[in-house]
Amino acid sequence: MAEALVLEEKGKLSLRDIALPDALGAEDVRIAVDVVGVCGSDVHYYTHGKIGPFVVEQPMVLGHEASGHITEVGSAVTNLAVGDRVCMEPGIPNTRSKAAKLGVYNVDPAVRFWATPPVHGCLTPSVVHPAAFTYKLPDNVSFAEGAMVEPFAIGMQAAAKARIKPGDVALVTGAGPIGVMTAIAALAGGCAKVYISDLVEEKLAVAAQYDNVEPVLIPRDNPADTLRAATDGWGADVVFECVGAATSIHTALEAAAPAGCVVWVGMPVDPVPFDLVLAQSKELRMETVFRYANMYERAIALLGSGKVDLKPLISQTFAFKDSVAAFDRAVEARPTDVKIQIKIGAV
């Protein structure tokens, strides 16, 4: 039995003991969890009890954005050692699947992802995880930053899918956590400037802390008009759509330059209308993002180099004993909050 933050059912959280898998395989490591981030998907399971086909039908431990240190290694593990500071990639594919062999293991139908029903998450003091999906943190990267690698990897996946060319101008629709991290990843990937649009001025102010990120407040400013004005009428070389709403999707198509690229990051709750003719008339290249693959090492390298600083995005850290309060704070969705974290390890 282990203490954990358990989603008992929709709208009900408990910090209690629960039986969790504990056997250490030859290729596994045991990790003392230090920091866990609260993700929007965790909050959605708490408030709605489901995301699409994934329904919480029995008590489930939440959390999938995590860092910690290794306390035990399996007999076949050679690249990690007790005491190593690490972060953990939460999605484990079938390494023999066709998706894994093609290098797109994120779309493996058999992937087991922390805190996705019925798989337990990592909001507990100790977890067992495959060494192949456990990554060392540089000495200058804190546990709190290590727990930010997971959401940042989504931004990295989006930037990689965009095939950014040095000097590109980009638009990100939506200044939520993923939108802001996508903007940061786009700059790291070579964009000269990234415009980011949102309805909430406080969210834009968080994004605007970063050099070469330009806020666009809706409805005061029209993102498509703003991009055309900034590019002599051409438009954005790359648009990252991070909202998933019908109006935002249309904005992405309008703002994109001819022969530009639109990367679909946000997931609509329900089907939305799509102006295919507008996309065709510009001959837009379109890419989709679902989680990430082979991005953790790249994200960690950027953090370690100092070229990317995610610390300003950590809004507040709660003690493990206050985990339920942390989730209730996340449910509030305060406009200045980006990432709420829970500290499990010793302060």
Convert the pLDDT of each residue in 279-308 to its tens digit: 999 999 999 999 999 999 999 999 999 999
Amino acid at site 260: G
- Distances from the Cα of 1 to the Cαs of 56, 292, 334, in angstroms? 21, 32, 35
Can you read off the two tokens belonging to residue 93? 């594919």
Query: Which residue's entry shows tokens 């206050």?
Result: 322
pLDDT of residue 115: 97
**CB-side exposure of 239: number of CA atoms within 13 Å?**
32
Domains of the chain by residue range = 2-148+310-343, 157-288
Interior angle at CA 11, CA 7 and CA 16, nearest 5: 35
Give, for all 347 residues of the chain, the pLDDT tens digit. 899 999 999 999 999 999 998 999 999 999 999 999 999 999 999 999 998 889 999 999 999 999 999 999 999 999 999 999 999 999 999 999 999 999 999 999 999 999 999 999 999 999 999 999 999 999 999 999 999 999 999 999 999 999 999 999 999 999 999 999 999 999 999 999 999 999 999 999 999 999 999 999 999 999 999 999 999 999 999 999 999 999 999 999 999 999 999 999 999 878 899 999 999 999 999 999 999 999 999 999 999 999 999 999 999 999 999 999 999 999 999 999 999 999 998 65
- Distances from the Cα of 51 to the Cαs of 8, 57, 95, 268, 318, in angstroms? 16, 12, 25, 11, 25
Contact predicate 212/187, CB 8 Å: yes
For residues 318 and 343, give the distance between their C-alpha atoms in angstroms, rounded to a whole number.
6
For residues 154 and 124, give the distance between their C-alpha atoms in angstroms, rounded to a whole number.
24
In a 3-state reduction of DSSP, which class is residue 67?
A: strand
For residue 170, give every residue at least 6 positions away whose Cβ sits within 8 Å of its Cβ, in sequence order, or none: 162, 164, 183, 186, 191, 193, 194, 195, 236, 237, 238, 239, 240
pTM of the model: 0.96
Q: Is the dihedral of CA 216, 221, 227, 231 positive or negative?
A: negative
Q: Are domains 2-148+310-343 and 157-288 of this chain identical in fold?
A: no
Instruction: For residue range 169-180, list pLDDT tens digits in order.
Output: 999 999 999 999
288, 289, 294, 296: CA torsion to nearest 10: 150
For residues 347 and 341, give the distance between their C-alpha atoms in angstroms, rounded to a whole number.
13
Class (C level, CATH) for 2-148+310-343: alpha beta
CATH for 157-288 (3.40.50.720, 3.40.120.10, 3.10.50.40, 2.40.10.480) = 3.40.50.720
